[in-house]
Amino acid sequence: MTKVLIVEARFYKDLADELVAGATAHLEAAGVEYDRVSVPGAFEIPAAISFAHRAGGHGAPDYDGYVALGCVIRGETTHYDYVCGESARGLQDLAVRDGLAIGYGILTVENGDQAWARASVIKKNKGRDAAEACLAMIAIKQRFGLA
C-alpha cells in the first residue's frame, strides 16, 4: 500500500485547510494512506520532509512520497522572495539528491484573491494537483525500480 506524508504550512490556516482538503480527497479516491504534519510556514516544509525521510525505518513510517502544501503571499519586503526561493530550492534538492517523490503545492501569489483562486477545491484545486504530482512521481520511481 502506498503511503504519503502531507506537510502543511499553517501560516495561512484557512488556505492550508483548503489545500489539504483537495489533497486528501485525491489521495483517498486513489486508495492511498497518508499522514499529516504541520509546520509554521513554507520555509520549514523541506526540513520536515527531510526529517521524515531520515527517520524512516528507525521506528518512524517509511513514506513513498510527500505532498508539500502552503502559501506565500507577497508583502512589502523581500521576505517573500527568500521564502519562495528557499522552500522551492530545498524541495528540489531533496527530490534530486535523495530521490524523493514530492508533489509541490506551495502557492506563491501576489494577494489573497489569487491564493483563494488556486487553493479552492471548486476552482484550481492546487492541493489536488500536488497530490497528483506526488503519485505520478511515485509511479516513475517504481517504473525505474527505485521504490
Positions marked active-site:
79
Extract the C-alpha cell encoding 129. Answer: 494537483
Cα→Cα distances 125→21, 22, 54, 102, Å: 9, 6, 30, 17
User: Residue 2: phi, psi to the nearest 5?
Assistant: -75, 135
Cα→Cα distances 27→52, 54, 84, 141, Å: 19, 23, 26, 18
Torsion of CA 34, 128, 46, 81, to 10 degrees: -160
Q: Which residues are annotated as a binding site for 5-amino-6-(D-ribitylamino)uracil?
A: 11, 42-44, 71-73, 104
Extract the C-alpha cell encoding 25. Answer: 480527497
Task: Name the H helices within the chain.
Answer: 13-29, 45-55, 79-98, 112-119, 126-143
